[in-house]
Amino acid sequence: MRDLTDGWAEVADVADLAPKGRHVCELDGRSILLCRTGGEVVAVSNSCTHLGQPLGQGRIMGGRIYCPHHSACFNLRTGEAESGPAVTRLPCYPVRVEDGRVWIRPDWPRPAPSADPVPGGSTEYKITVDPAGAVIGVRPGEPVLSAAFREGYRWPSVCGGEAMCGTCFVKVTDGAEHTSPVGDAEQTRLKHIGRANDPSIRLACQLKLSGDVGVFKRGVRKPEG
């Protein structure tokens, strides 16, 4: 580990995450979990906020990690506890990757991003998914696939939201002006599946909203009951 004057600390090589998409490191007496999700590296506390058990062996899916001990679910980008028994947010740390090295700010747990209300005072945008007719609430800064999983929907995906398979792609049919720009990871995968030349095709695991949107996606199933 090497500290910089601006407070960043080198904690790992990117290659350390390769085998399982995660790596546990120790820094200043704290156990920190590095994870690769959606084409980026994130850093969170390795201690579940329920009983302090380590999260490093937890299942990662759709931008979330599930505690291997009592199944609490945390959003890896925001740290939000999305299902019990945990109710307290998981500390997150800013990350930067340079020359194959991973750096974090150990003295600055990242707060959750603020949710700018949409017109009418709501803190969610709506995505309508045809032909199922599903209407899913998507929080500001939240990928569409993560929102679908959070609400219990079944959505075709092989990699679980890591921008590695392309199976989750949708065709935007309405509200394209409310969709996020295409990032490098999404562009690479769209090229791989031969869809990069159609601007209406997006990966649900990368797509974020700034307003209500309509899409077409077969295989989306509503929660039972």
CA contacts within 13 A on the Cβ side of 187: 5
Per residue in 134-178, pLDDT (tens digit) is: 999 998 878 898 888 878 888 998 876 778 889 999 999 999 999
195, 169 contact by CB (below 8 A): yes
Residue 112: band (very low, low, confident or very high) from pLDDT cuts 50, 70, 90: very low
Per residue in 51-69, pLDDT (tens digit) is: 888 999 999 888 899 999 8
CATH annotation of 125-216: 3.10.20.30
As a dihedral over the C-alpha atoms of residue 96, residue 98, residue 104, residue 105, rounded to 10 degrees, the angle is -80
Per residue in 191-224, pLDDT (tens digit) is: 999 999 999 999 998 898 989 999 999 999 987 6
CATH annotation of 9-104: 2.102.10.10
74, 83 contact by CB (below 8 A): no
**Span 117-126, mean pLDDT?**
64
- Residue 118 pLDDT > 80, yes or no? no
- The tokens for 25 are 């490191």
Burial of 169 (0-12, 13-18, 19+ CB in 10 A): buried
At 72 the pLDDT is: 86
At 137 the pLDDT is: 92
DSSP-derived secondary structure letter, 118: P
H runs (alpha helix) in 37-176: 144-150
| Residue 222 three-state SS | coil
In the chain, domain spans:
9-104, 125-216
pTM: 0.53
